Structure 1
Amino acid sequence: MSTPSLLILPGDGIGPEVMEQVRRVIGWFDDKRGLAIDVSEDLVGGAAYDKHGVPLADETMAKAQEVDAVLLGAVGGPKYDNLDFSVKPERGLLRLRKEMDLFSNLRPAQCFDALADFSSLKRDIVAGLDIVIVRELTSGVYFGEPRGIIEEGNERVGINTQRYTESEIERVARSAFELARRRSNKVCSMEKANVMESGILWRDVVNEVHQADYADVELSHMYADNGAMQLVRAPKQFDVILTDNLFGDILSDCAAMLTGSLGMLPSASLGAPMENGRPKAMYEPVHGSAPDITGQGKANPIACILSFAMALRYSFDQGAEADRLEAAIEGVLADGVRTADLLGEEGVTPVSTSGMGDAILAKLDASL
């Protein structure tokens, strides 16, 4: 294949700070491993609004459609709270997901042994946790029509529509089953078939796909509210969790905190294969823009670096190098290196954002 291309969109808040550490990692793989990546950069979110008056310029959207992968930092901040809904920073992110048709969102929740005590749950509940939530990303209640706020009688009514087609459910189900085959071969599909017609259809279609092409994968079903309870009761019972856009949003944030810090969690949003065989893809850390620590060198860059590791694995066919990067991060944490969000032990001095980058690069050097 040709040299892979990556569009970096640092965004707002701590986005540019954590992305700088990713650039250093990309440079290391180029210099030390001969892995060349064609990197370009542009604006999204509030940064794009400040320059263009929109959270994502058409030219940037066109670039995102052309590259092999997009790596996004974070969007939003108090500065933009009073903007019209149509131009809020988050609309840039949603436009990328929608127009790139990134229908399958992969959110790993992995608890590194060195951080098991940072979870709000007991060590024995989370130690060794390694699950992935596959969330449908381009349909459901966030995009369904009709929507809006209308006047009805003497009061306002807010309307959002939960809507799924068979084909939308089928393609994300296939994504989850394919992923499970590369892991522990187990999928739990979560919906609310007891009270929602969209949930009934979801369960029916998942069963049909399973019976037709993935009978070798263990499939179970669970109501999403019970799924939330089970995630905090016994999360290691799961391997791959398949769910819709709304429930996936909630459940993935719940799973995120099992690991101890949002600063540790990456994500991938994948679409259909392009002509070169690579999937349309965008990678981003789960954490937000964290305006309270912006510019202070306190941000944890690991989630963004792990997002790049996912790009190595799913977009650039470099699974071994992704393993190398993830092992380096695990080694740094095992050595006791901590950013401020990971403090817990007495007498530990936190490293800065760049200090964590230094430690990861040193561990990568040691892997050669």
Structure 2
Amino acid sequence: MKKYIISIIKGDGIGPEIVNEAIKVLNTVSKTCGFSLEYKEYLMGGIAIDKTGIPLPNKTVKGVLNSDACLLGAIGGEKWDNLPNELKPERGLLKFREEMDVYANLRPVLIYDELVNASTLKPEVIEGVDIMIVRELLGCIYFGQPRENDGTKAFNTMAYTKPEIIRIGKKAFELAMERDKRLCSVDKANVLEVSQLWRSTMEELSLDYPEVKLSHMYVDNAAMQLVRNPKQFDVIVTGNIFGDILSDTASMVVGSIGLLPSASIGNKIAVYEPIHGSAPDIAGMGIANPIATIESAGMMLRYSLGEIEAANKINYAIKKALKDGYRTKDLAAFDAKKVVSTSEMGDIISNNTK
């Protein structure tokens, strides 16, 4: 029997609740499909600050690097907002991504037929939407140096090297080849030199993928088009800050930020997490939507472990739960036959994988 070591970082706020439900589903589907999972839990974020004084302990980095994949909940919260920048939970997350060398963040945007009415957009606009957003994760303004805030003037540096653009571009083209062979590169090349390099590099790469139709779009227009006509997109590739914004925009096309998973993939250990935050205002109330985290676990099975059957079972189990009318509180207004708790939704999806 195959055995995999999965590192678990539950994090802050609703993180422990939603990760627990993902583990519940993983335990069931692994038994069904004939493999085993060993979990090793580590600290990062606010809870790590409280217990160790820093947002990313060395033990966490070493532990994750010795696992097959990492499942992450969510980190941060108002409790730690007033700490020095280097001690904030978010700095730990950025450092963690560097240590794992996860340069490509894959964010699928898929409309469930059962939740068409959950979107603020008209059903005819969103029915059939299936987008993959490929966000570069280790460069751009979040990592650029120099950066400073002296109280009267602040600045950050947006920067990309050509090799960084090439490696994320290749990943996006490869994904497009597996899908509908359409790739939209999003930038701001009309005003930013970094985007001009981005665009010219994408054009050069396109010569190696003649079957893929490459198009370009400015980020402001892309945000508008995601709301106006999301079905025009197949794969979107963009930089770190633009991808951060566009994927959150896409979450409302779907209807809830609690529905979107992500996979951060690179040269070491891949990290899987929902795109939403730690939502400390609802932590411990049992109302958080665990679906994005369970979907992230499904992506982990698919991309890191190669357990395709199990990943497909999770996708089916989620769809069946929604088709049967089960909804967490965030989706209660949309064709709900029964509003369930976080744990109950995990139980339902888990049972559907058997």
User: What TM-score results when the alignment is normalised by the length of structure 1?
Assistant: 0.93
> Residue 167 of structure 2 is aligned with which of 168, 171, 183?
171
1:66 Cα deviation after fit: 2.2
1:150 Cα deviation after fit: 3.5
CA contact (8 A) 1:106 1:269 kept: yes
> Residue 282 of structure 1 is aligned with which of 262, 271, 284?
271
1:349 Cα deviation after fit: 4.1
Structure 1 distance, partners of 2:241, 2:156, is: 11
Query: Paired residue for 2:189?
Result: 193
Secondary structure of residue in 2 paired with 1:241:
strand
Secondary structure of residue in 2 paired with 1:121:
coil
Amino-acid identity (%): 50
Is 1:306 aligned with 2:295?
yes
Per-residue CA deviation, residues 300-330 of structure 1 (Å, 9 max, x unaligned), is 1110000000001100011222111101101
Structure 2 distance, partners of 1:233, 1:197, is: 28
Per-residue CA deviation, residues 43-83 of structure 1 (Å, 9 max, x unaligned), is 11011111100111011111122222111000011211221
1:31 Cα deviation after fit: 2.4
Is 1:245 aligned with 2:256?
no
Query: Paired residue for 2:177?
Result: 181
Query: Paired residue for 2:102?
Result: 102
Structure 2 distance, partners of 1:54, 1:311, is: 27
Structure 1 distance, partners of 2:170, 2:188, is: 20
Is 1:352 aligned with 2:348?
no
Structure 1 distance, partners of 2:200, 2:239, is: 14
Secondary structure of residue in 1 paired with 2:86:
helix
Structure 1 distance, partners of 2:210, 2:67, is: 35
Structure 2 distance, partners of 1:127, 1:346, is: 16
CA contact (8 A) 1:29 1:36 kept: no
> Residue 262 of structure 2 is aligned with which of 263, 267, 270?
267
Structure 2 distance, partners of 1:85, 1:362, is: 43
Is 1:209 aligned with 2:205?
yes
CA contact (8 A) 2:27 2:37 kept: no
Letter of the 1:117 counterpart: N
Using the TM superposition, name which of 62-71 and 167-176 deviates more: 62-71
Map 1:337-348 onto structure 2 (within 5 A).
Answer: 337-345=326-334, 348=337
- Number of aligned positions between the proteins: 354
Per-residue CA deviation, residues 125-183 of structure 1 (Å, 9 max, x unaligned), is 111211011000001111111111137xxxx1111011000000000000101111111
Structure 1 distance, partners of 2:81, 2:96, is: 21
Is 1:158 aligned with 2:154?
yes
Structure 2 distance, partners of 1:284, 1:165, is: 27
1:287 Cα deviation after fit: 1.1
Letter of the 2:343 counterpart: S
How has the CA–CA distance of structure 1 residues 157 and 128 changed in structure 2, closer, same or farther, with 3 Å as cutoff?
same
Is 1:137 aligned with 2:141?
no
Q: Structure 1: which 5+ residue stretches go unaligned? A: 275-279
Per-residue CA deviation, residues 241-265 of structure 1 (Å, 9 max, x unaligned), is 0000111111111011110011111
Q: Structure 2: which 5+ residue stretches go unaligned? A: none
1:23 Cα deviation after fit: 1.4
Query: Paired residue for 1:277?
Result: none
Is 1:218 aligned with 2:207?
no
Per-residue CA deviation, residues 196-249 of structure 1 (Å, 9 max, x unaligned), is 0001100011111111x2111111111111111100000010010000011111
1:347 Cα deviation after fit: 7.5
Per-residue CA deviation, residues 2-52 of structure 1 (Å, 9 max, x unaligned), is 633210100000000011111111211232221212321111101111110
Using the TM superposition, name which of 253-262 and 25-34 deviates more: 25-34
Is 1:233 aligned with 2:228?
yes
1:348 Cα deviation after fit: 4.5
Letter of the 1:137 counterpart: L
Structure 1 distance, partners of 2:40, 2:323, is: 33
**CA RMSD of superposed structures (Å):** 1.4
Is 1:297 aligned with 2:267?
no
Structure 1 distance, partners of 2:199, 2:88, is: 34
Letter of the 2:137 counterpart: L
Query: Paired residue for 2:311?
Result: 322
Secondary structure of residue in 1 paired with 2:172:
helix
Secondary structure of residue in 2 paired with 1:125:
helix
Secondary structure of residue in 2 paired with 1:222:
strand
Structure 1 distance, partners of 2:224, 2:335, is: 32
Letter of the 2:308 counterpart: G
Secondary structure of residue in 2 paired with 1:297:
coil
Per-residue CA deviation, residues 338-359 of structure 1 (Å, 9 max, x unaligned), is 0000111477441001110111
